[in-house]
């Protein structure tokens, strides 16, 4: 514990952690899975009362999150220890070390791609969908607009994104190179970001129609890509979202998005929200903000999940706060992650100083969907 004169100097930890609120009659119940970003590879499952009921230990710390697979195993997106940083802050969000383990943490499958960063999806067919970094061709780099010209790459390169799907043998079965399909002039970098990585795909999902959803962090927006043609079928632009994460298609075809809100045009105070957007009309059909908006804010990471009873489970990532709200916006369950630690990589500690209880994204499951419990 970091203390001075007997007082814990970690502000978040001085506040109550663990389960802080629960309305059993209105909560969907179920179990919650999370993987602390600054942990040593530990993944935890807690029940409705916030009690730890299972844990796993993986070989590396999370690159991003962990999920429960339909076969009962754990899919883990780990931080590769062999990845060479293409730019300074890369270790903060690199992944690349994927593991599937059983309930006893025994590895049953693994795959490594040192170019992977941010999100990934474990598909029902056993394949893995993920984003990777690749140097931009010089002619494309010259066309990027907005942002700050402050390349953190030793070679002065700007990076972009490739989305790949690999099968269980590690063979690439589908690949999409962003710069071959997006015009830089149509996707300017937001003023708060530099142009080291354009546009930084930080979230992925696949719709029932097979479109690949991609969240574009530094340009603010969500696009849906047709696998066959590679073309963008629709786009939710920066007039609706601000530096968002984790778009997910819901049963009604709308898209649920964690809208971070580092900067929004015309607003001087920062706050996050969760929005449900009709992708064909651009209309926001539902949203959640805190009654005092700045009280809910994650400047980076974040996630949202529509639950089986209509409630929404939200990950306020930067502050390790997991909570559930009703359609009316009433908070009915809240849990503050109690595990704190500094990021282990010295090269990025000046970006994220101090001790953190952050997670990329947490997940809620029905108890009956985890039969081995």
Work out the pLDDT band at 103, boundaries 50, 70, 90.
very high
pTM (2 d.p.): 0.95
Q: Which residues of 41-72 are buried (b: 16+ CB within 10 A; e: fewer)?
A: bbbbbbbbebeeebebebebbbbbbbbbeeee
For residues 245 and 119, what is the distance between their CA atoms, to the nearest angstrom?
Answer: 9
Query: What is the count of structural domains for the chain?
Result: 1
Q: What pLDDT does 155 receive?
A: 67
Q: Is 2 among the domain residues?
A: no
Q: Is 151 a residue whose pLDDT tops 70?
A: no
Residue 370: φ, ψ to 5°: -125, 75
Work out the pLDDT band at 3, boundaries 50, 70, 90.
low
Q: What pLDDT does 334 receive?
A: 98
Q: Is 89 a residue whose pLDDT tops 60?
A: yes
195 in Cβ contact with 217 (< 8 Å): no
Mean pLDDT over residues 83-87, rounded? Answer: 89
User: Which CATH number covers residue 319?
Assistant: 2.120.10
Q: Is 236 among the domain residues?
A: yes
For residues 161 and 87, what is the distance between their CA atoms, to the nearest angstrom?
Answer: 14
Calculate what percentage of the chain has a pLDDT beyond 70. Answer: 97
Work out the pLDDT band at 6, boundaries 50, 70, 90.
confident
What is the per-residue DSSP string for 248-272?
A: EE-TTS-EEEEE--S--TT--S---
41 in Cβ contact with 57 (< 8 Å): yes
Average pLDDT of the chain to the nearest whole number: 95
Work out the pLDDT band at 106, boundaries 50, 70, 90.
very high
What is residue 185's DSSP assignment?
A: G
Least confident among 14-18, 94-98, 221-225:
14-18
Higher pLDDT, 58 or 147: 58
Q: Is 2 a residue whose pLDDT tops 70?
A: no
Q: Is 6 among the domain residues?
A: no
Q: What pLDDT does 163 receive?
A: 98
Give the number of residues written for the chain. Answer: 373
Q: Is 29 among the domain residues?
A: no
Q: Is 1 a residue whose pLDDT tops 60?
A: no
Q: Is 26 among the domain residues?
A: no
Q: What pLDDT does 19 receive?
A: 97
Q: Is 63 a residue whose pLDDT tops 60?
A: yes
Work out the pLDDT band at 12, boundaries 50, 70, 90.
confident
Q: Is 299 among the domain residues?
A: yes
Q: What pLDDT does 300 receive?
A: 96
Q: What pLDDT does 268 receive?
A: 87
Work out the pLDDT band at 324, boundaries 50, 70, 90.
very high
Mean pLDDT over residues 63-71, rounded? Answer: 96
Q: Is 4 a residue whose pLDDT tops 60?
A: no
Contacts 24+ apart (CB under 8 A), 153-159: 153/86, 153/87, 153/196, 154/87, 157/86, 157/87, 158/195, 158/196, 158/197, 158/198, 159/86, 159/87, 159/133, 159/134, 159/135, 159/196, 159/197, 159/198
What is the per-residue DSSP string for 186-234?
A: GSPEEEEEESSBSS-EEEEEE-TTSPEEEEETTTTEEEEE-TTT--EEE
Work out the pLDDT band at 346, boundaries 50, 70, 90.
confident
Q: What pLDDT does 338 receive?
A: 97
Q: Is 199 among the domain residues?
A: yes
Structure tokens given for 41:
């590879």
**Cβ-proximal residues to 34 (8 Å cutoff; 6+ apart), any chain:** 43, 44, 46, 65, 66, 322, 337, 359, 362, 363
pLDDT in tens, 177-220: 999 999 999 999 999 898 999 999 999 999 999 999 999 999 99
- Structural domain that includes position 239: 34-369
Q: Is 173 among the domain residues?
A: yes
């Amino acid at each position: 514990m970091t203390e001075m004169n007997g007082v814990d100097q970690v502000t978040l930890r001085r506040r109550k952690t663990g389960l802080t609120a629960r309305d059993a009659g209105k909560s969907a119940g179920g179990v919650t899975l999370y993987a602390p970003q600054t942990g040593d590879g530990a993944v935890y499952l807690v029940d409705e009362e916030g009690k730890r009921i299972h844990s796993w230990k993986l070989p590396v710390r999370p690159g991003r999150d962990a999920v429960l697979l339909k076969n009962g195993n754990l899919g883990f997106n780990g931080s590769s220890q062999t990845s060479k940083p293409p730019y300074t802050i890369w270790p903060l969000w690199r992944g690349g070390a994927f593991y599937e383990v059983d309930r006893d943490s025994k590895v049953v499958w693994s795959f490594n791609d040192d170019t992977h960063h941010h999100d990934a999806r474990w598909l029902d067919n056993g394949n893995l969908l993920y984003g990777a970094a690749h140097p931009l061709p010089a002619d494309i780099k010259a066309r990027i607009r907005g942002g700050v010209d402050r390349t953190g790459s030793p070679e002065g390169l700007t990076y972009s994104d490739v989305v790949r799907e690999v099968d269980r043998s590690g063979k690439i079965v589908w690949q999409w190179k962003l710069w071959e399909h997006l015009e830089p002039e149509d996707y300017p970098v937001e003023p708060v970001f530099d142009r080291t990585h354009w546009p930084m795909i930080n979230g992925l999902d696949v719709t029932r129609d097979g479109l690949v959803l991609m969240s574009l962090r530094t340009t603010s927006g969500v696009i849906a890509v047709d696998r066959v043609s590679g073309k963008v079928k629709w786009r939710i632009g920066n007039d609706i979202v601000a530096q968002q994460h984790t778009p997910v298609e819901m049963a009604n075809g709308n898209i649920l998005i964690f809208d971070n809100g580092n900067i929004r045009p015309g607003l001087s105070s920062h706050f996050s929200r969760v929005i449900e957007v009709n992708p064909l009309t651009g209309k926001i059909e539902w949203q959640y903000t805190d009654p005092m908006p700045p009280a809910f804010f994650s400047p980076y990471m974040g996630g949202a999940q529509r639950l089986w009873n209509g409630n929404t489970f939200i990950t306020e990532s930067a502050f390790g706060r997991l909570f559930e709200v009703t359609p009316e916006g009433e908070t009915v369950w809240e849990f503050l992650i109690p595990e704190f630690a500094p990021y282990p990589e010295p090269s990025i500690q000046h970006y994220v100083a101090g001790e953190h209880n952050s997670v990329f994204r947490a997940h809620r499951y029905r108890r009956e969907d985890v039969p081995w419990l």
